[in-house]
């Protein structure tokens, strides 16, 4: 940075920076600025910049902290509500899709069951055929003894298997 040509520019800059120019400055400095072209130009430019700065500060006044906090709370609440609504919408869509899938599966199972039932009805023996096959079936006593032996022996087998371990 170049050194100022006029020896009083530093003094003028101090007065400008402190806001004392021109009213609170001493008479000698004001008389020098009126005669010195460099200091006069510096005073005009610096006064203009300071005026612009005041205008910008006035226009760009930040909102109070309470308002900022309130807006932040409102935004967080809104985002939380939106996230909850999104979750509800996704869950609703999933429920609708699963219900539609279950209905489709039910239709397919019903159709398959009808086909299987008609196949079973065709392959099952007729009552007249069952009468001719009756002599091949075991007697009721044999079935009861076999079921009772399974019911008695199964717990014993399980107990022996557990007791060995």
Q: For binding to Zn ion (CB under 5 A), which residues are involved? A: 6, 8, 36, 39
Residues 6+ apart with CB under 8 A from 22: 15, 30, 33, 43
CB of 78 to Zn ion, least distance (A): 60
CB of 36 to Zn ion, least distance (A): 3
Is 6 or 46 the residue whose CB approaches Zn ion more closely? 6
CB of 24 to Zn ion, least distance (A): 19
CB of 6 to Zn ion, least distance (A): 3
Torsion sign over Cα 94, 100, 105, 110: positive
Closest-CA residue to 4 (of 43, 39, 48): 39
CB of 32 to Zn ion, least distance (A): 6
Where residue 61 falls (left for φ over 0; alpha for ψ -120 to 50; beta otherwise) is: beta
Is 7 or 115 the residue whose CB approaches Zn ion more closely? 7
Give the Cα separation of 103 and 26 in Å (integer).
Answer: 95
Is 8 or 30 the residue whose CB approaches Zn ion more closely? 8
Helix (H, G, I), strand (E, B) or coil at 160: helix
Residues 19 and 46: beta-carbon distance below 8 Å = no
């Amino acid at each position: 940075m170049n050194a100022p040509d006029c020896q009083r520019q530093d003094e003028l800059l101090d007065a400008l920076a402190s806001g004392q120019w021109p009213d609170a400055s001493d008479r000698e400095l004001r008389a020098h600025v009126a005669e010195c072209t460099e200091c006069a130009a510096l005073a005009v430019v610096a006064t203009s910049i300071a005026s612009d700065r005041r205008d910008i500060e006035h226009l760009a006044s930040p909102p109070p902290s309470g308002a900022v906090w309130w807006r932040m709370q409102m935004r967080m609440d809104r985002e939380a509500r939106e996230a909850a609504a999104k979750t509800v919408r996704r869950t609703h869509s999933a429920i609708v899709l699963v219900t539609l899938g279950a209905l489709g599966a039910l239709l397919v199972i019903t159709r398959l069951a009808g086909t299987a039932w008609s196949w079973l009805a065709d392959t099952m023996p007729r009552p007249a055929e069952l009468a001719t096959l009756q002599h091949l079936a075991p007697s009721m006593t044999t079935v009861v003894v076999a079921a009772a032996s399974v019911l008695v022996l199964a717990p014993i087998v399980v107990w022996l298997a557990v007791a060995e371990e």
